[in-house]
Amino acid sequence: MLDSLLVPTAIVALAEIGDKTQLLALILAARFRKPWPIIAGIIAATLANHAAAGAVGAWVGSFFSNTMLHWILAASFTATALWTLVPDKMDDDEASTARKFGPFLTTLIAFFLAEIGDKTQIATVMLAAQYPELWLVIIGTTLGMLIANVPVVLAGNFAAEKLPLTLIRRLAASAFFILAIVAVYKAMQSSGWV
């Protein structure tokens, strides 16, 4: 049961470092200089986005046999591992949202939109399909987002400039590859091959 919380937390925390939402957190922190409304916006946006992604993952997971689901998860984790190795850039549209609203609403809107189709949202779908405790997965992925983004909001440029982003991306990709290998093993096991 703790795996449903701890694995998503670790995976998303690693995958999020150097992600465009972390860059967004840095921009919002520099622009507004009000960390608590920004952090509250990150929490609200992430919970909403990852709850929807988790629900999709749990729903999709119910359509496939255990074996097929593990093969799909293995392919998805492998693709996400490769995607994690590619650095993100900040979109101009996301940065311009800050001019229209205050720090909480700007963060809520920008983070929610930035997470749509992002690797951490895709990871949430896959993790929710893999683990039966949906709410623990959602809480775990949200904690992972907070672990990666709150220090950036609080420390500003200092934290982001000092992190070894290439190493962190490689660690996150390795974690996704490990999950892919575990999924392949589980697929082979449920097929009777192992």
Query: What pLDDT, in 10s, does the model give residues 22-72?
Result: 878 888 887 788 899 999 999 999 999 999 999 999 998 888 888 888 898
| Between residues 117 and 147, the one the model is more confident about | 147
pLDDT, tens only, 65-122: 888 888 988 888 788 788 778 765 655 554 554 557 789 999 999 899 888 888 889 8
Question: What are the b/e assignments for 82-115, b being 16+ CB within 10 Å?
Answer: ebbeeebeeeeebeebbeeeebbebbbbbbbbbb
- pTM for this model (two decimals): 0.75
Phi, psi angles (nearest 5°) of residue 174: -60, -40
Q: Is the pLDDT of residue 161 over 60?
A: no
The pLDDT of residue 172 is: 73
